[in-house]
Amino acid sequence: MPVFARLAFNQSRQDVAPSGGGNRFRMLARGIGMARESRLLWCLLGCLLVVLGCRSTAKRSPDIASELATSDLSPSDGSAAPWDTLTFFHKPEFQQGTGPIDAGDVPEFTATDSGLRYRILRSSGGKKPTAENTVAVNYRGWLNSGKVFDSSYERGEPTTFPLRNVIAGWTEGLQLVGEGGMIELWIPSKLGYGKGGSPGSIPPHSHLHFVVELIHIQ
């Protein structure tokens, strides 16, 4: 028998039920209705609790994105610029054999238009070289990793060279210090050895750190 037919048959039986059973039938129907209402109320209450719980614990996608961005912008070693990560003052071996520096606060790095960063560690009123000069210097160079790749101090004697025959960062940087002075340089890769590096000592795309004492100008 189809479902709708069974429902009609049951309804016809209820219509002809003896009057003596009418009260019991109404009480049963009322009980069933109350039970259904009770179950409905419990279902609604459960749904409400679930919704409230989700709203209190879930994070909006902008909040999550904000946290990820903050994490990305907060490295463990702080926000030091690349020229400040491993300077002349970070390791004693960078200072070994060098002359005195000026007293007082450590100066900040200054940027040039080319991207070179420098600071004068020992001021001098002496003559400054030009790109056409040959200079005698003591120097030490290291990578961002802290590895020293070249040093005249270790060789025990100054190095002499024409400023036209060295990397662009040196040609520019040495013109910023007077004879007898000391300068620290941070040379970006484009002013150093670039994408080719220097086989055996300087990897490609390396930024370079130097401390240089200008001894005299020839």
The catalytic site residues sit at: 139, 149-150, 167, 193, 210
Asked if residue 123 lies in contact with residue 101, where contact means CB atoms within 8 angstroms, the answer is no
The DSSP line for 84-125 is GSS-TTT-HHHHTT-----SSSPPPPEE-TTS-EEEEEE---
**CA nearest 117: which of 147, 146, 90, 87?**
87
| β-sheet bridge partners, residue 110 | 118
Least Cα distance to 131 among 90, 79, 169 occurs for: 169
